[in-house]
Amino acid sequence: MFASKLCKHHLRARSLPLVGLFFAGCAAADDYAHTEAGDAQTAPNADSSNLAERDVSPDPEIGSAREAQTSTPRSDYAATITPPGGPWGFLRQAKYCNSGTYAVGFTQRVEQSQDGGDDTALNSVNLLCATSPEAEVTDRVSSHDGFWGEWTREPARCNGFVTGARLRLESDQGGGDDTSANGIQMSCSAGEDINADNDGPWGEYDRPEDTWRSCPENTKVCGLRIQLEEKLSGRRDDTAMNGLELYCCN
């Protein structure tokens, strides 16, 4: 794991000379260019059928919820909010709740500790959408399912609509194993904050004034796209999900 981490840092500083057989091995691996969070690029949605090598675990069906297919911005779109996230990966396809529905909760996919193996923690977040806070969930919004881990056992659901979010984030570990995002917390129009039951164990939710991002007044979350690092070849350090954008609608 230490060796894979050094390979990853080599890729972020390619101007450094290669030293010894270790770095020669890194250079021989398939090249992979990371994107800094502030310059995250859009990319075609990766094939989500190529899921876990470690664990294949689909998001649990939520009542009669179906996956929302809407990738075109809604006519009532109002704003985009971006909680502070990690530095690796690409923004995947934007997806929206179907017209007339808004986010009332979420599920998340998290890989728990690999006991000395390469850890990734948070892999994906799905929104659960309904016509009202009291109504049955009808839509599940997925930007990308991620690669590893298990989905939330019980959905996290608001008493109102989702209006904001922040990430549980592990900082860059230098020569150690990076996981980046470990979980997400969402705020609700009724005043409460909700968490899933399966956050990763690393990092923390920092001071609220630094990390919360909230929709404008009288709007609520209606879509998302996640920032996901693609699988790395060889023994390099995977981080999976690093961040996300949330879309607010009237």
Q: In this structure, is residue 173 part of a structural domain?
A: yes
Q: In this structure, is residue 20 part of a structural domain?
A: no
Beta strands in the chain (DSSP E): 66-67, 77-81, 90-91, 95-96, 102-111, 121-130, 139-142, 150-151, 156-157, 162-169, 181-188, 193-195, 213-214, 220-228, 241-249
The answer, as to whether pTM is greater than 0.85, is no
Instruction: Compute the residue count for the chain.
Output: 250
Q: In this structure, is residue 210 part of a structural domain?
A: yes
Task: Specify the residue for token string 């094939």.
Answer: 47
Distance in angstroms (rounded) separating the CA atoms of residues 242 and 244: 7
| Burial grade of 15 (CB within 10 A; 0-12, 13-18, 19 or more) | exposed
- For the chain, the domain total comes to 1
Instruction: Mark out the alpha helices in the chain (DSSP H runs).
Output: 2-12, 20-28, 208-211
Q: Which pLDDT tens digits describe the chain residue by residue (250 residues)?
A: 333 333 443 333 222 232 333 333 333 333 333 333 333 333 223 333 333 334 434 555 455 567 776 788 999 999 999 999 999 999 999 999 999 999 999 999 999 988 878 889 999 999 999 999 999 999 999 999 999 999 999 999 999 999 999 999 998 887 777 889 999 999 999 999 999 999 999 999 977 777 899 999 999 999 999 999 999 866 678 899 999 999 999 9
- pLDDT tens figures, 3-12: 333 344 333 3
Q: In this structure, is residue 176 part of a structural domain?
A: yes
Q: In this structure, is residue 46 part of a structural domain?
A: yes
Q: In this structure, is residue 6 part of a structural domain?
A: no
- pLDDT tens figures, 45-95: 333 333 333 443 455 545 556 777 678 899 999 999 999 999 999 999 999
Q: In this structure, is residue 9 part of a structural domain?
A: no
- Tell me the three state secondary structure of residue 23: helix
Q: What is the CATH number of the domain that holds 160?
A: 2.100.10.20
At 30, give phi and psi (nearest 5°). -60, 135
Domain of residue 124, residue span: 35-249
Distance in angstroms (rounded) separating the CA atoms of residues 53 and 37: 26
Distances (CA, A) of 231 to 89, 135, 139, 194: 10, 38, 28, 29
Q: In this structure, is residue 23 part of a structural domain?
A: no
